[in-house]
Amino acid sequence: MLQRALLLAVLIASSLAQASAQSATDWLDKIAGQYRGQLRDGDGVKPVLTTLYRRSVVAQLSGEYLFGDERVPGKLQACSPVGPLALRCVWVDKFGKGILELTFDDTLTAFEGRWSHERAPQLWFPWNGRVTPNM
């Protein structure tokens, strides 16, 4: 009888842990889409279109972006959750690469973020976005 109770307790604990881990990353499915916003760089504030993709069940996303009036393209790689509603990516474009950190609002329709370049990782610039309807 004691063995059954212990087995049941282990199964329940395992199920709860799995459900908790699943719900901790459920929000990743909801942030895939396009976000219009702005980023700041050494030349000032520029428009940016950020697109996030969820391609598998792994807790990771990827994406791309276009910024500035010239619509400079870039890629977002290895985007992983780093906290509640927080995502960390590697950005790559013709100017180099670095880190992008995004924190989403409770409705998952907007984010406030910051980015840095690998050559100056201590220097951060703002990057934000708000969801846009599919075009």
pLDDT recorded at residue 88: 97
Identity of the amino acid at 124:
W
Prediction pTM value: 0.79
Which residue shows structure tokens 């984010």? 111
Which domains are delineated in the chain? 26-132 (2.40.128.120)
pLDDT recorded at residue 54: 84
**How far apart are the C-alpha atoms of 8 and 56, rounded to whole Å?**
32
Q: Could you tell me which residues come within 8 angstroms of residue 124 by beta carbon, excluding any fewer than 6 positions away?
A: 114, 115, 116
Handedness of CA 105, 43, 100, 48 (dihedral sign): positive
- From residue 131, give the alpha-carbon distance in Å to each of 38, 51, 115: 13, 9, 19
17, 18, 23, 29: CA torsion to nearest 10: 150
Q: Could you tell me which residues come within 8 angstroms of residue 95 by beta carbon, excluding any fewer than 6 positions away?
A: 72, 117
DSSP symbol at 2: H
pLDDT tens digits for the chain (135 residues)? 555 544 434 334 343 333 334 455 788 889 999 999 999 998 999 999 999 998 766 667 899 999 999 999 999 999 999 999 999 999 999 999 999 999 999 999 999 999 999 999 999 999 999 998 765
